[in-house]
Chains A and B, each alone.
Chain A
Amino acid sequence: MSGPRRGDDCGSIRFTFDGKELLARPGDTLAAALLANGIGLVARSFKYHRPRGIMAAGVEEPNALVTVGTGGRSEPNTRATDVFVYDGMVARSQNRWPNLAFDVGSVLGLAAKTLPAGFYYKTFFGSAKRWMFYEWFIRRAAGLGDAPSEADPDRFSQRAAFCDVLVVGAGPAGLAAALAAAEAGESVILVEQDSLLTPSLVRDPQELGPAWAQATAVRIRALGGRILLRTTATGYWDDNLITLSERLAEPGEQPPNGTAQRLWHVRAKRVVLATGALERPLAFAHNDRPGVMLSHAVRTYVRRFGVVPGQRVVIATNNDDAYLTAIALRDAGAEVVAVLDTRPAPAGASSGFPVHNDTMPLATKGARHHLREVSARVDGKIVRWQADLLAMSGGFTPVVHLHMQAGGAALNWDEASQSFLPGAARQSVTSIGAAAAADPVGPTPSPENPGKAFIDFQNDVSLGDVDLAWAEGYRSVEHLKRYTTLGMATDQGKTSNMAALGRLAEKQGVAIPEAGLTTFRPPYTPVTMGLLAGRTERDAGAHLRRLALYEVHQAKVPIWQPLGYWKRPRAYPQGTETLAQAALREARGVRQAVGMTDVSTLAKFEVSGPHAAALLELICATTVAKLAVGRGRYTFMLREDGLVFDDGTVWRLGEDRYLLTSSTGGADRMATHISYVRQFLCPQFKVSAVNVQEHYAGIAVAGPQAKAVLAALIGDEPPRHMSTTSATIAGLPVIVLAASYSGERAFEIYVEASQAEPVWAACEAEVIAQGGCLYGMEAMEFLRIEKGHLVVGGEIDGRLTPHELALGGMLNKADGFVGAAGLTRPALTQPGRKQLVGLEALAGTIPEGAMLITAPGQPAEGHVTASGLRVLDGGSIALGQLNDGFARRGELLLASSTTRGQSARVRVVAPHFYDIGGERYRD
């Protein structure tokens, strides 16, 4: 019998792998359980679809990526070594078709010469046609697991914490450090990515064993310390902030309390990194077969999980540690048929194993599932051993990822252990234990056949690929990485970087530290998107702001429309009306009688004080100071580069008191802009600028009967167009602004938001009495398009100057406003820039968002910003932006929307379709 084996106790936990029902023992990782069930072939490699097994026993595993769970809980690309089996677990292999054992993609492996390093680069930079040809095959063949298509049903939470000392890694060193800090009276958090404390003491039993670990943990907790298992420190950020990802349930498992994972933000005074070290593989031909494993991993499977991964074992090493694996295997009943040691024969006593010095494996042979043979050159002759397991050790690399993320200024090269050790760091961080020192190793000879000697197993990069990149002129480590994709897989090169660096240094003829290092980026191990999203995934990310009159609208069952953080009524359909029918009825109601709508969401700022006008003259590109008390005017605002970014109205309520309104969607941006001008540019001003957006609710009343409605409401003569007055409605104080967006005589009534309902009710009663109706945003859109009024986000898209929006005549001649200097940029007066135009359809409907073209196939010369209709007469009209549009009135164009599959012939006209002279504003 050969292959991995476990004793009689197969365990009682049921799980499936690729549909096959299997058993596991409590505490098994999926990798351990698969080995225990004799499964050697677990995955297909990313690029060449080579059969791969389990190489490691920890998070560094490059090969055994699986998908765990079903439906919305399924988690792709999970390392089989980093998931603990639970009852009912469903695990699947990835990147294979039709199945793992017979995979069509593996023919790519036979043709690997056609997919060398840099294949993607060469293809991307080649002709576009070449990429088009390859794309289908590449997308199908190269890949990881599939992202789940359903929403994750579980919760992901986030938590902040503070502590004196954060210890990362609960090995013997970390546990001792945590205890020392706790006993010194410091608040301590200790995190461990594994499911148990000091797993290394299980792998290598010592005097201080698991019992010591348990007692220490009890002591730390009693002193107020916190210990988190299954928790990985994934990132080390500025000012000693460390993010932790805590698993409260295993991947794919239904969480016992509904929360699957928790993201911690821990701000620590000091950080102790006891992150241990990772074993390096050795590079030789076909070192990636199932059955070739890291020596530490083999020992872990034997001692911790009771699984013996092979019965006839060859051990290949350049250090002493692998001999402990030989002992563990012998104790477990396996036969160590050879130990291949790269070092010369020692003078001391024999280890009792068949050791061959000065050698390392030449190649391996095997079937898809298992290893069969290992060969090596011994004293000049090739020797072959029948073996089902090869345990390899190329030395140990301290885990310095977090140290480097913490701003580790330098790593110190340690020639004896052939590894980088953490040096000084900018932040308050210390590395201890195996993360700070490594045992010496012997030489690591170059393989005879580098082409199949893999170093980055996950991205299928061999030493031969490094040589090829060098031959093609890639000299720096950064170029090597990008060209070969080395270290760019989900394992971030945990097992591959040192081998690649060694090869590169050899080619460059320099010492390894001179070859340079790539950046250690967070996260240390992959994190799921759910963890980062936390609870912001649904509407919690953007809280709904409710209108003061929300309940009033809701009672009328409107169609709601999201607008920024708000929802506003889009239309109030009656009976079986559609949106379009309701909106047209409402718009006609405004044109023919009177309508009212909620305009509460408009941005509103109250500016007062001796410098109120001066501040507004900076913010607005129009004159403000000349405004008489009780009067208002249209205004617009520029960015510093001279382009219009918002518009609104400004009203002089009193001698030193103004009200500025601007767009709903730009409200927060405008608040920041005003604050910036006031606080930073003009701190010496005596002025107060208060955001009163939500202080006031606003009601617009518009239509030929609006004046009569207002007169009845306020019991007085309503203000003239663009004038303002204070008044009383329903016994409540209001501000009335006579402004129009619809093109009809209109008023905006502002009332303190908490008192809006009685004012709304009084207005509604009067509007209905005058034969009017409510209208929503859709009708408002029809009305303003016909009138040619602009909307921020439509015509005002932050790319046009005032002149291009036909607002140039209103500019403040005195300059001095924000954007005045930017407006003089020569580029803004070049021909070919977009200008505001009106469009009318010769027939049919102008599609929203359509491109404006002269003929099919011609380049776009502009686009439709808003499409509407003549409210009373019918006929499709639109506003748009067109290159040199002002001079092109009368020209015929095609408004074509390929996304909607619609087009219409249009004539370029002036952007006003209704009451061009403004007759309807006059009393």
Chain B
Amino acid sequence: MMLITCSHCGPRAQTEFTYERTVDSVVQPDADPAQAMEQLFTRANPRGLDDELWRHTFGCRAWLVMTRHRVTHQIEAIRAVGPEALP
């Protein structure tokens, strides 16, 4: 069980979080159909680092983008998303 450092709450147990999806599978509302199909059904699925969308569901409920190694579970970076994280 990973220790995930929530951008708002600090290090918390993985059980407080839910994995949502990989960032490369996010379909933007204005995506054209071909692009949407690509994102939905042909994902990169790398054996290595990937950007993933997580949520601190049983904590502050914030969404996070986590760069995580999919074999070793090593977390390289975590950044908050949402209105508060806008530049």
Contact = CB atoms under 8 A, between A and B. Distances in A.
Interface string A800-827: 0000000000000000111011101100
A239 B1 CA distance: 7
A514 to B, nearest CB: 22
A25 B19 CA distance: 53
Given A239-B3, A681-B28, A816-B29, A822 B40 contact: yes
B49 interface: no
A601 B23 CA distance: 33
A694 interface: no
A506 interface: no
A426 B20 CA distance: 26
B33 A824 contact: yes
Contacts of B20: 676
B82 A680 contact: yes
B31 interface: yes
A680 B81 CA distance: 6
B83 A267 contact: no
Nearest to B86: A683
Nearest to A688: B83
A267 B31 contact: no
A820 B29 contact: yes
Interface string A596-635: 0000000000000000000000100000000000000000
Contacts of A407: 72
A675 B37 contact: no
Given A683-B83, A816-B30, A817-B29, A267 B53 contact: no
Interface string B11-32: 0011000001000001111111
A237 B29 contact: no
A830 interface: no
Interface in A632-671: 640-641
A512 B20 CA distance: 42
Nearest to B11: A239
B43 interface: no
A576 interface: no
B21 to A, nearest CB: 9
A681 B20 CA distance: 14
A826 B14 CA distance: 39
B71 to A, nearest CB: 10
A821 B72 contact: no
Contacts of A680: 26, 53, 63, 81-82
A679 interface: yes
Contacts of B72: 407, 426
B36 A267 contact: no
B30 A238 contact: no
B2 interface: yes
B63 A676 contact: yes
Given A239-B1, A265-B1, A680-B53, A818 B63 contact: no
Given A239-B1, A675-B63, A816-B30, A683 B82 contact: yes
Interface centre among B26, B33, B55 (most CB of A within 10 A): B33
Nearest to A240: B3
B8 interface: no
B85 interface: yes
B61 interface: yes
Contacts of B1: 237-239, 241, 265
Interface in A93-149: none
A820 B32 CA distance: 9
Contact of B29 (A239, A684, A818): A818
B59 to A, nearest CB: 14
A896 B74 CA distance: 53
A265 B13 CA distance: 10
A672 interface: yes
Contacts of B33: 821-822, 824-825
A684 B83 contact: yes
Nearest to B74: A426
B73 interface: yes
Nearest to A640: B27
Contacts of B57: 672
B73 to A, nearest CB: 5
Nearest to A682: B29
A712 to B, nearest CB: 42
Interface residues of A, number: 28
Contacts of B86: 683-684
Given A238-B2, A267-B3, A679-B81, A672 B55 contact: yes
B87 to A, nearest CB: 11
Interface string B53-85: 101010001110000000011100000011101
Interface in A394-436: 407, 426
Interface string A211-253: 0000000000000000000000000011101000000000000
B32 A821 contact: yes
Contacts of B26: 680-681
Given A238-B3, A618-B29, A683-B85, A822 B36 contact: yes
A640 B83 contact: no
Given A238-B1, A641-B40, A675-B61, A821 B83 contact: no
Nearest to B82: A679
Interface centre among A239, A672, A676 (most CB of B within 10 A): A239
Nearest to B4: A239
B81 A821 contact: no
Nearest to A237: B1
A640 B40 contact: yes
Contacts of B36: 640, 821-822
B3 A683 contact: no
Contacts of A679: 62-63, 81-83
Interface centre among A267, A640, A821, A824 (most CB of B within 10 A): A821
Interface string A512-533: 0000000000000000000000
Interface centre among A407, A680, A825 (most CB of B within 10 A): A680
Contacts of A426: 72, 74
A235 B29 CA distance: 43
A237 B28 CA distance: 35
A582 to B, nearest CB: 39
Nearest to A267: B3
Contacts of B32: 821
A692 to B, nearest CB: 16
Contact of B2 (A239, A641, A676, A684): A239
A678 to B, nearest CB: 8
Nearest to B32: A821
A816 B72 CA distance: 38
Contacts of A676: 20, 63
Contacts of A237: 1
B81 A683 contact: yes
Contacts of B62: 679
A817 B29 CA distance: 6
Nearest to A822: B36
Contacts of A684: 83, 86
Nearest to B27: A640
Contacts of A824: 33
B14 A238 contact: yes
B14 to A, nearest CB: 7
Interface centre among B26, B31, B73, B83 (most CB of A within 10 A): B83
Contacts of B74: 426
10 contacts: A239-B1, A241-B3, A265-B1, A267-B13, A675-B61, A679-B81, A679-B83, A816-B29, A818-B27, A822-B36
Interface of B: 1-3, 13-14, 20, 26-33, 35-37, 40, 53, 55, 57, 61-63, 72-74, 81-83, 85-86
Given A679-B62, A680-B82, 6 more contacts: A426-B72, A675-B61, A676-B63, A679-B82, A816-B29, A822-B37
4 closest Cβ contacts across the A-B interface? Answer: A821-B36, A239-B3, A679-B82, A824-B33
